[in-house]
């Protein structure tokens, strides 16, 4: 009996130690802080870009029942908070599901859907002049053929902008490179993964990563990295539990669409989105190990169609929609902070 009691005490101690370690590990898995609301009306499917220490957010869907396709822009910085930015010019109609990239301090915003048709126009914004200027439309070698689309992803590498995938009545996997000096678009090697819409992309170093998204009502499980210098796409480990011979992916649950991605300290972060239901999960990607680690769940209302950016060494997620409700709240994420339930 004495031995049995002794065994119970040991077992209880081990369980307590395991519980404490699990709690400690969970507490050190990052922290989200609510940062109030963005200026401007709530919206989803907006577009964002960062120039210097200032983030710009604009366009998107406002009142869903009235089909309010927005054309306004707002800017945010850590020192000044939210301020009104220069709106799209009249010819650049309000839209949703556009895409944007920045080259040498100039932003380029284009494509999307205006409620009637998919769009192929692109507009540049220069903060120094506060002016929008129309650029070359997204077209291929045949200028008569439009490459209009929505739900594409984009990124910048080596002074060029890239638009990848999207939806034009069917999902796409083509890749187009924009040269700001020549003001021209050039077709590049097609994305090697399956066609998709509502994917995410992020850049670490001199490589771009594209993942998630959907086609034929199927969530995509692949992850590819693009090297602009060689115009090559390389497959990385899948983002679901696909490898039956290894344990590293047993808990993987990154597949989703209409999510957000951002980069901090040479690691990629994936959050929010939908995968049969809205997700609050946040995951961290290490490009060196090609592995994902679960981080603290997004602490705001679960959502899709949000935007995200990195500023001051922290990640931010804002706007989006849940159950048809457009959102305007913003949350800051620090992946190295200790969890605090009071913020």
Q: Tens digits of per-residue pLDDT, 141-179?
A: 888 899 999 999 999 999 999 999 999 999 999 999 999
Of 274, 283, 290, which is closest to residue 315 (Cα–Cα)?
283
Per-residue pLDDT tens digits for 277-298: 999 999 999 999 999 999 999 9
Section 259-274 average pLDDT: 98
Contacts of 190 (CB under 8 A, 6+ apart): 173, 174, 175
Residue 238 phi, psi dihedral angles, 5° rounding:
-65, 160
Q: Are 176 and 228 in contact (CB under 8 A)?
A: no
Which of 20-29, 60-69, 83-92, 189-198 has the weakest average pLDDT?
Answer: 20-29
Section 54-75 average pLDDT: 92
Average pLDDT of the residues of the chain: 92
* Burial per residue of 68-100, b for 16 or more beta-carbon CB atoms within 10 angstroms, e otherwise: bbbbbbbbbeeeeebeebbbbeeebbbbbbbbb
Which of the four pLDDT bands, split at 50, 70 and 90, describes residue 26? low
| Partner residues linked to 51 by β-bridges | 54
Of 332, 260, 336, 271, which is closest to residue 44 (Cα–Cα)?
260
pLDDT of residue 4: 44
Q: What single string gives the DSSP state of each residue in 46-92?
A: -EEEEETTEEEEEEEE-STTTT-EEEEEEEEETTTEEEE-PPPPTTS
Which of the four pLDDT bands, split at 50, 70 and 90, describes residue 12? very low
Is residue 303 predicted with pLDDT exceeding 70? Answer: yes
Section 179-185 average pLDDT: 98
pLDDT of residue 1: 45
Task: Look up tokens 């100039």; give the residue.
Answer: 106
Strand pairing report for 69-77 and 81-84: antiparallel
Per-residue pLDDT tens digits for 95-125: 999 999 999 999 999 999 999 999 999 999 9
Section 198-205 average pLDDT: 98
pLDDT of residue 18: 43
pTM given for the model: 0.91
| Partner residues linked to 176 by β-bridges | 163, 187
Q: Are 195 and 170 in contact (CB under 8 A)?
A: yes
Is residue 19 predicted with pLDDT exceeding 60? Answer: no
Question: What gap in Å lies between CA 232 and CA 320, rounded to an integer?
Answer: 33
Is residue 24 predicted with pLDDT exceeding 60? Answer: no
Question: What gap in Å lies between CA 305 and CA 258, rounded to an integer?
Answer: 5
Which of the four pLDDT bands, split at 50, 70 and 90, describes residue 27? low
Show the domains of the chain with their CATH numbers. 121-334 (2.120.10.80)
Per-residue pLDDT tens digits for 38-49: 999 999 999 999
Q: For the chain, give the number of residues.
A: 343
Question: What gap in Å lies between CA 144 and CA 77, rounded to an integer?
Answer: 41
Is residue 64 predicted with pLDDT exceeding 70? Answer: yes
Is residue 15 predicted with pLDDT exceeding 60? Answer: no
Is residue 272 predicted with pLDDT exceeding 70? Answer: yes
Residue 329 phi, psi dihedral angles, 5° rounding:
-85, 160
């Amino acid at each position: 009996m004495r031995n049995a009691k002794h065994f119970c005490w040991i077992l209880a101690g081990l369980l307590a130690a395991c519980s404490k370690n699990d709690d400690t590990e969970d507490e050190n898995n990052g922290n989200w802080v609510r940062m109030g609301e963005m200026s401007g009306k709530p919206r989803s499917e907006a577009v964002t870009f960062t120039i210097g220490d200032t983030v710009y957010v604009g366009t998107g869907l406002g009142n869903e029942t009235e089909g309010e396709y927005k054309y306004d822009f707002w800017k945010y910085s850590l020192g000044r908070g939210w301020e009104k930015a220069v709106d799209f010019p009249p010819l650049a109609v309000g839209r949703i599901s556009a895409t944007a990239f920045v080259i040498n301090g100039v932003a380029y915003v284009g494509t999307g859907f205006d409620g009637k048709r998919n769009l192929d126009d692109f507009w540049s914004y220069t903060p120094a002049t506060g002016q929008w200027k129309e650029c070359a439309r997204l077209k291929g070698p045949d200028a008569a053929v439009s490459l209009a689309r929505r739900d594409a992803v984009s990124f910048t590498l080596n002074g060029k902008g890239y638009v990848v995938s999207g939806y034009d009545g069917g999902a796409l996997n083509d890749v187009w490179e924009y040269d700001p000096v020549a003001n021209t678009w050039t077709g590049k090697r097609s994305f090697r993964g399956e066609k998709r819409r509502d994917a995410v992309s992020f850049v670490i170093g001199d490589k771009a990563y594209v993942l998630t998204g959907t086609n034929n009502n199927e969530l995509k499980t692949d992850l590819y990295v693009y090297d602009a210098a060689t115009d090559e796409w390389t497959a990385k480990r899948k983002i679901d539990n696909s490898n039956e011979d290894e344990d590293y992916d047993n808990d993987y649950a990154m597949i989703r669409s209409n999510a957000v991605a951002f980069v901090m300290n040479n690691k990629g972060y994936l959050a929010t989105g939908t995968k049969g239901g809205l997700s609050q999960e946040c995951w961290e990607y290490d490009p060196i190990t090609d592995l994902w680690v679960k981080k603290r769940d997004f602490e705001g209302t679960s959502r899709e169609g949000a935007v995200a950016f990195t500023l001051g060494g922290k990640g931010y997620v804002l706007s989006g929609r849940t159950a048809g409700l457009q959102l305007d709240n913003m949350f800051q994420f620090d992946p190295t902070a200790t969890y605090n339930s009071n913020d």
